[in-house]
Amino acid sequence: MSSNKLGELIASKWRGLASKESRRKKSKGHFVFYAKGGKRFLVPLKYLDHPIFRVLLEVAEEEFGNVACGPLRVPCEEELIDHLVSLIE
Q: What is the band of 43 on the pLDDT scale with cuts at 50, 70, 90?
A: very high
Query: Is this prediction's pTM over 0.75?
Result: no
User: pLDDT tens for residues 44-86?
Assistant: 999 989 998 899 889 888 888 877 777 888 999 999 999 999 9
User: Tens digits of per-residue pLDDT, 6-37?
Assistant: 656 566 666 665 555 555 555 789 989 999 99
Quote the CA–CA distance of 14 and 77 in Å, as a whole number. Answer: 34
pLDDT for the residue numbered 65: 82
pLDDT band at 42 (very low <50, low <70, confident <90, very high): very high
What DSSP letter does each residue of 2-59 carry, written as one string?
A: -HHHHHHHHHHHHHHHHHHHHHHSPPTTEEEEE-TT--EEEEEGGGGGSHHHHHHHHH
Q: Is the pLDDT of residue 41 over 90?
A: yes
Q: How long is the chain?
A: 89
Nearest Cα residue to 45 out of 61, 32, 58? 32
